[in-house]
């Protein structure tokens, strides 16, 4: 039986995956940046000033980019509408949801006769797939 794979062009699962990886990293890095004790071996005023500014600048730029990426992913998750397509057996049988049991049985019998594998000489996979979808719907 052929499998039906669908490509997710919305990017919602990718956004969830990246958020679950990047958010803990960003929290830990932000915490360590705030609580970091600056240890510098040279105690002259020029070295102290230069190293503090250089380390602080690059780590702040990296953290800002990381939090910007996280905010973009959160916006992406909140704005994308997730369409879940549930299996509807009434659609396969060609009926409405409000139909009776007798209508379901008669629709199943008609589809079973129509898709009978002994009646047609079509491709075996197509026949098996139609018969299986009809049986699942019933």
Note the pLDDT tens digit of each residue in 11-38.
788 889 999 999 999 999 999 888 876 6
Neighbours of 86 (CB within 10 A): 4
Question: What's the domain count of the chain?
Answer: 2
- Stretch 101-112: mean pLDDT, rounded? 79
1 pLDDT band, cuts 50/70/90, is very low
| Two structure tokens written together for 36 | 């970091």
| Two structure tokens written together for 87 | 């299996």
**CA–CA distance, 10 with 82 (Å, rounded to integer):** 8
Give residue 28's domain range. Answer: 12-79
Calculate the CA 33 to chain-centre distance: 32
pLDDT higher at 127 or 30: 30
| Domain-located, residue 68 | yes
> pLDDT of 56-77, one tens digit each?
778 889 999 999 999 999 998 8
Looking at the structure, tell me whether residues 61 and 114 fall in a common domain: no
Calculate the CA 133 to chain-centre distance: 26
CATH number, domain with residue 121: 1.10.287
Please give the mean pLDDT across all residues of the chain: 75
| Domain-located, residue 5 | no
| Domain-located, residue 109 | yes
SS3 100: coil
Cβ distance 92 to 134 under 8 Å? yes
**CA–CA distance, 97 with 94 (Å, rounded to integer):** 10
**CA–CA distance, 91 with 133 (Å, rounded to integer):** 11
pLDDT value at position 95? 75
| Two structure tokens written together for 107 | 């629709």
| Domain-located, residue 54 | yes
């Amino acid at each position: 039986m052929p499998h039906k794979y669908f490509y997710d062009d919305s990017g919602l699962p990718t956004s969830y995956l990246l958020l679950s990886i990047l958010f803990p990293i960003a929290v830990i890095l932000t915490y360590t940046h705030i609580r970091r004790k600056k240890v510098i071996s040279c105690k002259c005023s020029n070295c102290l000033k230069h190293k503090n500014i250089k380390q602080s600048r690059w780590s702040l730029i990296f953290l800002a980019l990381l939090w910007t990426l996280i905010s973009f992913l959160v916006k992406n998750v909140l704005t994308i509408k997730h369409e879940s397509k549930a299996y509807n057996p009434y659609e396969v049988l060609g009926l409405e949801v409000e139909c009776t049991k007798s209508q379901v049985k008669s629709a199943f019998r008609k589809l079973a006769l129509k898709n009978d594998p002994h009646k047609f000489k079509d491709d075996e996979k197509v026949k098996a797939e139609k018969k299986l979808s009809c049986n699942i719907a019933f």
